[in-house]
Structure 1
């Protein structure tokens, strides 16, 4: 199973990112969406799970939670926008993978039994940080991450 990962679109859904996400079995958006149209476009590709980021305001964003928990292919994912708000949630939820955004910095790291993945920012370029998204390939209770950078 392929889970497309995206965050910090800030209202900009680049065609190259959309192309990358096509073929996903599910898409996870880790917040700072900033436009309901982004969610509509992603949901047209695959089932979508999204969390509210600190820049997601207005009536459309009220239906989004600050965290989401998914069980996919024997892997439990916890989705949160700002990793600094995580606290003990990953441990309490027995999460295998934590997907976050906020920093705009792509990241894959393991801390004990938990894999942390930040797909970076797929929206407007911030400072000299890359434009990026990612994927998790999930099967047999394992998750293999991959991050991809885009020109912009």
Structure 2
């Protein structure tokens, strides 16, 4: 089984429990609003990381969109995604990549929904507590081609 830690909207805050929660994951996908480069370096101590730029990120060199193949599935990572109203540029990239999974952030709300053949996964907000929003991450398990997402409250 291949396990992927999914995190977003850390806003330069790394929960102290994260290394334990993500222990044993094979890869980490970060949906943007990372903060500063130190946070990616800390996540890389757990597993390889693919991360994207969020709308509040500055001082960090990341792309707006990343595509990565993991466990035989194609993942597209982009910060702001409205599945029913994709921007023209993102729609082109979706058409090019034909991802099995889209990982995103921005809303600070966990989401796991399928549209067509694509799973859209937002792990929720993992930054410092604010706005009374729940804080969470997710683990996506890929077992023999089947995907299963599990949200973990922080």
Q: TM-score, normalised by structure 2?
A: 0.89
**Gaps spanning 5+ residues in structure 2: where?**
none
Partner Cα separation in structure 2 for residue 101 and residue 65 of structure 1: 15
Residue in 1 that maps onto 2:40: 39
The aligned counterpart of 1:145 is 149
Q: Taking structure 1 as reference, are residues 90 and 146 closer, same or farther at Cα in structure 2, changes over 3 Å only? A: farther
Find the counterpart in structure 1 of residue 131 from structure 2: 127
Deviation at 1:74, TM superposition (A): 1.2
Would the aligned equivalents of 1:106 and 1:118 in 2 still touch at CA under 8 Å? yes
**Structure 1 stretches of at least 4 aligned residues deviating more than 2 Å after TM superposition:** 84-92, 139-142
Distance apart, 1:88 and its partner CA: 4.1
Q: Tell me what 1:66 maps to.
A: 64
TM (normalized to structure 1)?
0.91
Is 1:136 aligned to residue 128 of structure 2?
Answer: no
Deviation at 1:141, TM superposition (A): 2.4
Q: 2:50 maps to what in 1?
A: 49
Structure number with higher helix proportion:
1
Distance 1:42 1:34 in 2: 12
RMSD value, Cα: 1.3
Which of 83, 89, 94 lines up with 2:93 in the alignment? 89
